[in-house]
Amino acid sequence: MAIPVLINLAIAAAVLAFMYRQQANHATFTVRVFTGLGLGVVLGAGLQAAYGISAPELKTTADYLDIVGSGYVKLLQMIIMPLIMVSIVSAIIKLRNATSLGKISALTIGTLMATTIVAAAIGIVMAKLFGLTAVGMASNAAEVARGAYLQGKLGDAQSISLPSMLLSFIPANPFLDLTGARKTSTIAVVIFSIFVGMAATGIHDKKPDLFASFEHAVHVAHAIVMRLVTMVLRLTPYGVFALMAQMVATSSLADILNLINFVLASYSALVLMFIVHLALVAAAGLNPLRHARKIFPVLAFAFTSRTSAGSIPMNVQTQTQRLGIPEGIANFAASFGATIGQNGCAGIYPAMLAVMIAPTVGIDPFTASFILPLLAIVAIGSVGVAGVGGGATFAALIVLSSLNLPVALAGLLISIEPLIDMGRTALNVSGAITAGTITSRVLGETDMAVFNSDAELSEEAGSKAA
């Protein structure tokens, strides 16, 4: 290994050691996440300034940082399915009421879909204000290759219909879905868990002894899984540091400046939609600033990791332990929000792309005859978008192909895709949390004592006891 790489890794190790000392000194979880975020930006910028973006030393260093960053994401992905299953089964056993289950599902999905339509509308307005258009944009080799790739994926997008997507939610093989093998595995596990929970409640009166045994087993499994979640979440600040350092070190400033108009338009739309989320929280009778402060750590992780699905464990923990939302509602919101109605990936992004590309084929995108079908297609296309990096691309393919727009032009944005995707993913997670918050408040289930407290995630309690 080259000496410059060893020096780089030694610096990274020193930063990780400093962050460990923060944990040992009981610094709050939020402070440690802020620290990881900031130090990651500093290290990444320093590495790129020292070596240049194409230097082999930079690539090797980024590969080693990826062990920490992607390794943390994989650990989170490891506990997603067990968390969803035991939490939803446990919640249904406590509910024992199909009506409540229906209300939770309807309110959660309804909020996600409605906010996605609002997000798309904001994306259209921002595209207009910033004058976004693909007319006359030049392509380099990478962008042409990306366009060809998207064109090749067009058939997959066109083959999907709403009935087939809804059918894919049904778990024909729940054991396969527990491995996360399909794009819709998350929702499939939710549905399977609902059936298991309802089957258990069905024997409550007929076979109370068996029900009691099953309830105890679920309680034990739930306790173990939640302890596992706590153990993994302790690593969040380190994961955020490594992911951010890697992202900043490998991002091209020249490419970002070349498409700065789209970057500014995108982040303006993302910020406005985040304000909409806070307005909904305020309308529900909650303090929006307190809400924003409490959800920051999970948004920071979503921003750096670019995975909505991987954020589910931390999303659930944040809703239950910091916002006072019941576990059943939190799991429904986090799980559905990782697949349905993603405000950033399935709302803002495809709407802005459609408006940007439409003029290249002689279509005025700011007419009712274009905007109304666009909003309808965005809403329908937002169902089943995969909650991982790349989900936005698939959503864009669905929208652009449905409007008969050239999908290859979306490849023009490949150089800034990671930067935009970071903000989109954070907004997706914010939308899921907002759905859980609204649902909980409407049903009168929010524990205001928890919301109004300054409690941190259970990661803090665990680290202090360790």
**CATH at residue 371:** 1.10.3860.10
What's the pLDDT at 460? 46
Structural contact between residues 309 and 185, judged by C-beta atoms closer than 8 angstroms:
no
Q: What is d(CA 266, CA 223) in angstroms, rounded to the nearest whole number?
A: 41
Q: At what angle do helices 260-283 and 288-305 cross, to 10 degrees?
A: 140
- The two structure tokens encoding residue 269: 């739309």
Q: What is d(CA 274, CA 277) in angstroms, rounded to the nearest whole number?
A: 5
Which range among 7-16, 135-144, 150-159 has the greatest average pLDDT? 7-16
8-55 pLDDT per residue, tens: 999 999 999 999 999 899 888 888 988 999 999 999 999 999 998 888
Q: What's the full length of the chain, in residues?
A: 466
What's the pLDDT at 214? 92
Domain count, the chain: 1
Mean pLDDT in residue range 201-223: 90
What's the pLDDT at 149? 55
Domain that holds residue 162: 3-465
What is the value of pTM for the model shown?
0.82
What's the pLDDT at 465? 34
Mean pLDDT in residue range 89-108: 80
Mean pLDDT in residue range 157-167: 68
Mean pLDDT in residue range 249-275: 88
291-307 pLDDT per residue, tens: 999 999 999 989 988 88
What's the pLDDT at 463? 39
Which range among 60-74, 269-283, 315-329, 340-354 has the greatest average pLDDT? 269-283
Please report which confidence band the pLDDT of residue 388 belongs to, taking 50, 70 and 90 as the band edges: very low
Sign of CA dihedral 372, 374, 378, 381: positive
What's the pLDDT at 87? 85
CA angle 436, 437, 439 (to 5 degrees): 65
Query: Which stretches within 236-287 are classed as H helix?
Result: 236-250, 253-258, 260-283
What's the pLDDT at 152? 62
